[in-house]
């Protein structure tokens, strides 16, 4: 159990579950302050409303502090920034800053439409892995088509990562990984009977020059300012390119379309901003109703 040192009006205390939760939140980059006044020991943090939170070691204007009258994550983060609480913390854009910088859905679609069909389908494939869970928004996805990779590098929606050596090694058989391991003369290397993933991760970390011997590829992830638009851009690309099959009749129809009238076999897309964008760019396959075929 962590002991929180005394600071401001707060006595030294052992951190219980509530304090541990707030200390952990305080350490995250999304809780980064917009400014710190070290002389007066105060800070400013993005708020959930229009006004930022004004924070000192004694108080904060956030709802959590107002309700509990106990240190919130902003108070703890200020104490960390001032070196009073000796815990490591991550710096970066706060949640509020990221929200303000987000690329709109409309601008995201405009950027996607600048790409070739092949590049758009690769982005759709990436979004399949990233758009559902917030924690996966910047998940790395490998591209093996080097010509396509050159085009993807031009998109402001994408960030290129270093060569995905660990992923490439994980695709090798365990005997192949053990052969590589045997050729490495290090006392700290894993045993030959270690788990495959452990061997691959160790080799990737300790023998990075192996990237020169493996098939060329590129790894891309989405920039964080594309977080909010990801789900709807994925819907846009699915409706634009993909089809679904009715299991009962065998009819195929555009993905995401539905039957407004079950007595008439004509499919339409929902009336939302995704469909409006498809119509704008001339890709609304259900604009006048879609009659499916087997």
- Considering only CA atoms, which of 216, 212, 178, 214 is closest in space to residue 194? 178
Residue 247's alpha-carbon distances to 258, 261, 284, 291, in angstroms, are 14, 18, 24, 16
Q: Is pLDDT above 70 for 86?
A: yes
Number of neighbouring beta carbons within 10 Å of residue 186: 10
Which pLDDT score is estimated for 126?
95
C-beta of residue 28 within 8 angstroms of C-beta of residue 90: yes
Tally DSSP H helices, then E strands, for the chain.
12, 10
> Which tokens sit at 280?
């704008």
pLDDT in tens, 185-225: 988 999 999 999 999 999 999 999 988 888 899 999 999 88
Q: Which of 112, 143, 294, 131 is nearest to 217 (CA)?
A: 143
* The token pair that represents 15 in the structure block: 């951190």
Q: How far apart, in Å, do the first and last CA atoms of the chain sit?
A: 64
pLDDT over threshold 70, residue 294? no
Percent of the chain residues past pLDDT 90, beyond the cut: 74
Among 10-14, 30-34, 71-75, 134-138, where is mean pLDDT lowest?
A: 134-138
Tens digit of each residue's pLDDT (9 = 90 or more) over 231-282: 999 999 999 999 999 887 788 999 999 988 777 889 999 999 999 999 999 9
* Residue 268, both tokens: 């339409």
H/E run at residue 196:
helix 196-206
């Amino acid at each position: 159990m962590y002991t929180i040192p005394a600071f401001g009006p707060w006595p030294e205390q052992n951190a219980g579950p509530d304090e541990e939760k707030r200390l952990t939140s305080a350490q995250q980059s999304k809780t980064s302050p917009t400014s710190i006044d070290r002389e007066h020991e105060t800070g400013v943090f993005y708020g959930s409303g229009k006004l930022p939170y004004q924070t000192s070691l004694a108080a904060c204007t956030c709802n959590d502090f107002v309700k509990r009258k106990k240190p919130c994550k902003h108070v703890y983060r200020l104490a960390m920034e001032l070196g009073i609480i000796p815990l490591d913390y991550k710096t970066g854009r706060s949640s509020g800053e990221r929200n303000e910088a987000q690329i709109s859905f409309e601008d995201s679609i405009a950027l996607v439409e600048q790409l070739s069909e092949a590049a758009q389908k690769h982005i759709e494939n990436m979004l399949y892995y990233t758009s559902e869970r917030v924690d996966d928004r910047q998940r790395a996805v490998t591209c093996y088509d080097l010509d396509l990779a050159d085009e993807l590098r031009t998109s402001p929606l994408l960030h290129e990562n270093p060569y995905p050596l660990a992923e490439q090694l994980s695709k090798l058989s365990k005997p192949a990984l053990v052969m590589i391991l045997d050729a490495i003369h290090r006392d700290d290397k894993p045993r030959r009977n270690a788990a495959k993933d452990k061997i691959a991760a160790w080799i990737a970390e300790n023998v990075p020059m192996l990237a020169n011997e493996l098939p060329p590829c590129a790894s891309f992830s989405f920039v964080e300012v594309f977080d909010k638009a990801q789900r709807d851009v994925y819907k846009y690309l699915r409706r634009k390119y993909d089809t679904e099959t009715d299991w009962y009749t065998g009819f195929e129809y555009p993905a995401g379309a539905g039957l407004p009238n079950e007595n008439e076999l004509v499919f339409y897309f929902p009336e939302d901003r995704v469909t409006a964008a498809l119509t704008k760019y001339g890709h609304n396959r259900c604009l006048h109703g879609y009659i499916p075929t087997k």
